[in-house]
């Protein structure tokens, strides 16, 4: 069976999607962390 590697365009597209997803998730998680820190500081 022949191995078919992705084209350069497919590789760049997939990499871009992964990087953008990681950036969005980092902002989302930092926002959630800030909310939780604020909530816990109000409770304690």
Tell me what pLDDT residue 22 has. Answer: 99
* Cα–Cα distance for residue pair 10/16, rounded to 1 Å: 10
Q: What is the pLDDT along the chain (44 residues), one digit of tens a residue?
A: 899 999 999 999 999 999 999 999 999 999 999 999 999 999 98
Give 4's DSSP letter.
-
Structure tokens at 7: 């084209």
Tell me what pLDDT residue 13 has. Answer: 98
Tell me what pLDDT residue 19 has. Answer: 99
The domain limits of the chain are: 9-43
Tell me what pLDDT residue 44 has. Answer: 87
* Cα–Cα distance for residue pair 39/33, rounded to 1 Å: 10
Tell me what pLDDT residue 20 has. Answer: 99
Tell me what pLDDT residue 1 has. Answer: 82
Can you list the pairs that 29-34 forms with residues at least 24 positions away whose Cβ atoms lie under 8 Å? none
């Amino acid at each position: 069976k022949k191995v078919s590697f992705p084209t350069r365009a497919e590789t760049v597209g997939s990499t871009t999607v992964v990087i953008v997803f990681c950036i969005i998730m980092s902002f989302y998680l930092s926002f959630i962390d800030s909310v939780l820190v604020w909530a816990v500081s109000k409770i304690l």
